[in-house]
Structure 1
């Protein structure tokens, strides 16, 4: 579908690819549209919902400035997916032992590996950059206990919230591994630190903002280059974290499944990140807060929720969306509201046929807490084409 709604009362237009936007999200979009450095317009994906300061599902092009809170604290959060060379009928009838084996290999929630598990090449590639960040800003030490040990032992770990690992089947009954995770504790520390630093740097000018969470760094300012360096490192860390998890998951699957290979369909994409791109005759920073890049021919991953479909897509390079699309279904109710409405009985009903936990700890992640993924896909038919439809048969939640 084309753009469904355009907000014009701000300094720049806000172009929205859905007609389903709540009032809190609309206010946040209006606040963003008043900032003086937004280029051209703001694009809003069909999974839009309110975030902290900036709206989840927004694509924000900026000239000479970056808003740390628009990226958020899970810097570089994103998806990875790969197709295995085996079919559904080669999976065991009961997947419980497989799920437990993955949960044993991949720490979830606040947990980390008890010893260094990341491959040496991964640690070596990241360590110099982190050392430089901590030397420049030693206060980052205080935001994470044992930062040098923790960042290494959290590589290859899932985290909590809406992060997950899944085994899925596509329309041809081929088996896929799909996962969702980000930059863990060190990314959160970097995001929190620089968001607070941006507020401090703005000083009395902070009061001119419609929301203090929209504090920003401008090009040439004291900490602008440091933030650019820090966010680049955190995005690299998040990508490395997902690669290491895929490596560990493959080790588990090789012990449990018939011999398999990995096809050429291996897909990686960030959906909370900043990148330098060219749009509407200007080189800008594009902040995708809950959105993925969908340039022409580019592959992407759009997950649904526990018990619903997910999609492997190919981008159409739509310029009005800054070559972007949604990063998932998007929440339709808060976590607290979901916990009030759903219980273990709903977990059983809404995850029927999926091997997963079905306890009270995952009710805020049930399909009922999310928008209809098929409706979301319908609204972004101008942005992507569907290549594969996936349905999970196993899900590990953070």
Structure 2
């Protein structure tokens, strides 16, 4: 589906790939973002767009000489990782529950962390820069090290999937854990304080920003890149453990080289060139989809997911959606669905079947097929996956 410009009076246009009408609050949030003086060219809304904090989740914002910390969000570098294995569906038969239990034993979820750090984590070069991070997180180094290689909570997950040719894929969704959250909160507070001291009028205090060339901008950008690297390596550390578990059950512990590996952020900012100009691109719930870029667009825990390749659509700032997008809030999902609904909607998936994950029920998300149809001009599908094991955060 090609984009449609929203019929709104804003300093820069808002281009939308969503086929649904935005609600009042969503329109207000989009207008607020598009009204900022440093926003470049236009704001792009992905097919899975929905309410966020400050800026919409599923929005791509290009800015000149400024950046908005809350638009990146608190889970800096949150994203996806997937590998295609040489294993096939028949090798999984009778092993799904054991695999799930082994994943849950090897990879901490929720607020849990590792008891000890392994050699790979200890050797991550990012620890050398920890002393340069914001003073507000200096006491968190030990915790950050122990959380490296852990999943977190909310909509984070680990899945064993099958594609349409019955090949086994490993997929997971996670970010920068507590350290990314704390770094973001420190810088968001600083941005809000600068706004207050300068008496700058903003349509929403969560759109407080840093100006390029200031010490505050430089400090945020340094910490942002560090947290994005942490998030990427966190996924690598989990995937290595996950892969070993699968090798134990399907190949007697023998290592096998992945046929394809993908690791992509969907909550982050980078310096890029668009329409011939260097800008800061913030993807808040969006994946980079330059021509030939591989990416991952997951559905809910009972729906299909997609490995994609970007088409490099300039109007989306070479971006695509990061998932199905929520249809209802977590509280609303708990009010509207029962355990019986969860059992029905996750039929055929080896996963937890309790009320503790009702807020992640497939019915709380938009239909992923519609989301994919809306971005046929942004991506091509490389593989269609369906989970057989799902471990939730």
TM-score range for the pair, normalised by the shorter chain length: over 0.9
Instruction: Give per-residue Cα distances to partners, 1:225-276, cap 9 Å, x unaligned.
Output: 0000000000000000000001111222222222562333100100000001
Partner of 1:102: 103
Partner of 1:345: 340
Would you say the 8 A contact 2:121–2:237 is kept in 1?
Answer: no
What does 1:127-206 correspond to in 2, within 5 Å? Answer: 127-133=127-133, 137-141=134-138, 146-205=139-198
Instruction: Give per-residue Cα distances to partners, 1:109-152, cap 9 Å, x unaligned.
Output: 000001113515643x011111111xxx32234xxxx5121111
Q: How far 1:7 sits from its partner (Å)?
A: 4.0
Task: Tell me how far apart the structure 1 counterparts of residues 117 and 306 of structure 2 sit (CA, whole Å).
Answer: 34
Would you say the 8 A contact 1:83–1:262 is kept in 2?
Answer: no
What does 1:212-227 correspond to in 2, within 5 Å? Answer: 212-227=205-220
Task: Tell me how far apart the structure 2 counterparts of residues 261 and 206 of structure 1 sit (CA, whole Å).
Answer: 59
Unaligned runs of 5+ in 2: none
How many residue pairs get matched?
390
Q: How far 1:4 sits from its partner (Å)?
A: 3.1
Unaligned runs of 5+ in 1: none
CA pair 5-367 structure 1, distance change in 2 beyond 3 A: farther
Task: Tell me how far apart the structure 1 counterparts of residues 355 and 24 of structure 2 sit (CA, whole Å).
Answer: 30
SS in structure 1 opposite 2:168? strand
Would you say the 8 A contact 1:49–1:331 is kept in 2?
Answer: yes
The question of 1:14 aligning with 2:11 is answered no
Q: TM-score, normalised by structure 1?
A: 0.95
SS in structure 2 opposite 1:269? strand
Would you say the 8 A contact 1:85–1:260 is kept in 2?
Answer: no
Task: Tell me how far apart the structure 1 counterparts of residues 135 and 309 of structure 2 sit (CA, whole Å).
Answer: 42
Partner of 2:52: 51
Would you say the 8 A contact 2:264–2:295 is kept in 1?
Answer: yes
Instruction: Give per-residue Cα distances to partners, 1:83-128, cap 9 Å, x unaligned.
Output: 11110001132411110110000000000001113515643x0111
SS in structure 2 opposite 1:320? helix
SS in structure 2 opposite 1:2? coil
Task: Tell me how far apart the structure 1 counterparts of residues 361 and 337 of structure 2 sit (CA, whole Å).
Answer: 8
Pairwise CA RMSD of aligned residues? 1.3
Instruction: Give per-residue Cα distances to partners, 1:6-39, cap 9 Å, x unaligned.
Output: 2441110000001312222111110000000001
Partner of 2:85: 84
CA pair 118-48 structure 1, distance change in 2 beyond 3 A: farther
Instruction: Give per-residue Cα distances to partners, 1:56-94, cap 9 Å, x unaligned.
Output: 000000000010000000000000000111100011324
